[in-house]
Amino acid sequence: MAVPSSLATQTHKELSVSNCQEQESPRVTFGGKGRRKGRFDGLRGVTVSDKGEIFVADSGNQRIQVFTLKGRFVRQFPTVVSFEQEMYPLDVATDKEGNLWVVGETRPADFAVQYSRRGRVLRKIDLRYTGDRSSGGVAVDTRRNHILVTQTIRDWKTHGEVQVLRPDGTCVRTVGRFQGMKDPQYITVDRRGNIIVSDVCTHSVYVYKKDGQFLLKFGDESLLKHYIYGICTDRSGNIIVAVSPQDASSGRVDMFDKTGRFVRHITTDMRLPWTVAMATQGQLVVTDYDRNTVSIFTTTEPE
């Protein structure tokens, strides 16, 4: 259902916190392009802590911004790697202690950096490898204290994989090298420890067991004319995916069950939905890369 014109004017021109009603789910939307607190430039990853704080990777401004589940600004901190070296954050995830793991771009290497909730650097992992590789998404398996990072390897044949790392940077295993991933974007770990990855190039979602065993792949034809980016799961194990069209039409957020069967659209009127995160309280947080906004959907469970 389209947003009424009067409300759209308020949301996209004033870009203040506003309540939007649509048939699928009520929401709160805030943000807009800029450098001030509460505004963004190149919105990328998002995660929600167990305490209900939203952490947003504000890539172009090289910072993490923090908000409540009502959209109120709380604080921010720069994504520093080391002295006078800042990175462009691409994705963010929380660990079992409530600290953050952020994957981002610097020169000449990508890093995964662990920050405290207030932005103090606790440790960092150099993700530089031999050859042309780029990192995109990050997730934390809190039960095993593993850090999972998506990688795209561009050599004679481009392919994607997931690096499963210990906090000290030691590689536990590599996942997904042989199932046809080409450009994995975002990643999540469900309550069973299954690893779920979105791949923008193959228009597919890949699911693996916690030990890396391949379970299933879905998408393909149904998502062929769309790019898929952010991915998360809800309390029932449903898989929620940010779906953006290749043309200029509206993007959407879709829900699939754990077998890859389509359940329903959560929203269909976003411009370029990029990343998604589920709060333990049940709210779904979605970033819109084109509008530089964050939307909080207060109900997402199917009726």
Domains and CATH numbers, the chain: 28-226 (2.120.10.30)
The closest of 185, 47, 172, 175 to 115, measured between CA atoms, is 47
Q: Give the pLDDT of residue 302.
A: 52
Does residue 167 have a cis bond before it (omega within 30 degrees)? no
Q: Which two tokens stand for residue 39?
A: 């505004």
The model carries a pTM of: 0.88
Q: Which two tokens stand for residue 182?
A: 């080409």
Phi/psi of residue 18, nearest 5 degrees: -145, 150
Give, in order, the Cα–Cα distances in Å from 200 to each of 76, 143, 186: 30, 28, 9
Q: List the strands of the sheet with 63-67, edge to edge.
A: 43-48, 54-58, 63-67, 73-78
Total number of residues shown for the chain: 303
What 8-state DSSP symbol labels residue 2? P
Q: Give the pLDDT of residue 91.
A: 96
Taken in order 254, 278, 47, 220, is the CA torsion positive or negative?
negative
With beta carbons less than 8 A apart as the criterion, state whether 111 and 65 touch: no
How far apart CA 126 and CA 15 sit, in angstroms, is 37
What stretches in the chain show pLDDT beneath 70?
1-25, 108-109, 128-135, 156, 220-225, 247-249, 299-303
pLDDT digits (tens, 9 = 90+) for 113-166: 999 999 999 999 988 654 455 668 999 999 999 999 998 887 767 788 999 999
Q: Give the pLDDT of residue 298.
A: 84
Cα 165 to chain centroid, rounded: 19
